[in-house]
């Protein structure tokens, strides 16, 4: 194997709220799975915050979206991300960077996480251009106002949003 095609040794985690997972997230996860031997996508429990999808459903939707990626696993965490990184044996946190607006917050978190767990590094991947404007909160907003979001999300998420809409219309 040439040096260029060699994967980084070890495990990376891709954390997020994933409420719901969208194609921008998937772009980062797919690219992380090329770079690292093992990738664990970890959904944050975000206790105390209301989410559209409860944690088990967010995890199931991630699982469906990454089913084609052999070296990708799905897990969840409550509490500090560095504790989760330690638990799964990760050497890196991989996140997407959409714009300069993301940068300041990501830099701050990367530095704090490194301070708490010096063995961990944050790898920020530039989001692909066609996913640069996507965010779960905008997708939820467009969906809540009756818009079609199927071009932004994996098929399983589009179906889940559709059935959620039917359910809320019947209530």
Site residues (CB under 6 A) for ligand PNS? 15-17, 44, 80-81, 109, 112-113
Of 18 and 168, CB closest to ligand PNS = 18
Of 7 and 99, CB closest to ligand PNS = 99
Edge-first strand order for the sheet with 121-126 is 72-77, 36-44, 8-16, 90-97, 121-126
Is 25:58 a contact under the CB 8 Å cutoff?
Answer: no
Report the catalytic residues.
25, 49, 98, 136
Smallest separation, CB 121 to ligand PNS (Å) = 14
Residue 69 preceded by cis peptide, ω within 30: no
Smallest separation, CB 60 to ligand PNS (Å) = 17
Smallest separation, CB 7 to ligand PNS (Å) = 23
Residue 148: count other Cβ atoms within 10 Å of its Cβ: 11
Quote the CA–CA distance of 21 and 62 in Å, as a whole number: 6
Of 7 and 107, CB closest to ligand PNS = 107
């Amino acid at each position: 194997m040439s040096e260029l095609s060699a994967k980084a040794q070890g495990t990376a985690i891709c954390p997020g709220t994933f409420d719901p997972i969208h194609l921008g997230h998937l772009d980062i996860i797919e690219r992380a799975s090329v770079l690292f031997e093992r990738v664990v996508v970890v959904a944050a429990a975000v206790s105390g915050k209301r989410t559209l999808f409860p944690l088990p459903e967010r995890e199931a939707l991630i699982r469906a979206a990454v089913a084609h990626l052999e070296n990708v696993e799905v897990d969840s965490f409550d509490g500090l991300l560095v504790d989760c990184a330690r638990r799964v044996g990760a050497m890196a946190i991989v996140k997407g960077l959409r714009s300069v607006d993301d940068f300041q917050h990501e830099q701050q978190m990367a530095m704090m996480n490194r301070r708490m767990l010096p063995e961990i590094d944050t790898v920020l991947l530039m989001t692909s251009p066609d996913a640069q404007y996507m965010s779960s909160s905008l997708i939820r907003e467009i969906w809540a106002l009756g818009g079609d979001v199927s071009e932004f999300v994996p098929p399983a998420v589009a179906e889940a949003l559709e059935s959620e809409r039917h359910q809320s219309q019947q209530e």
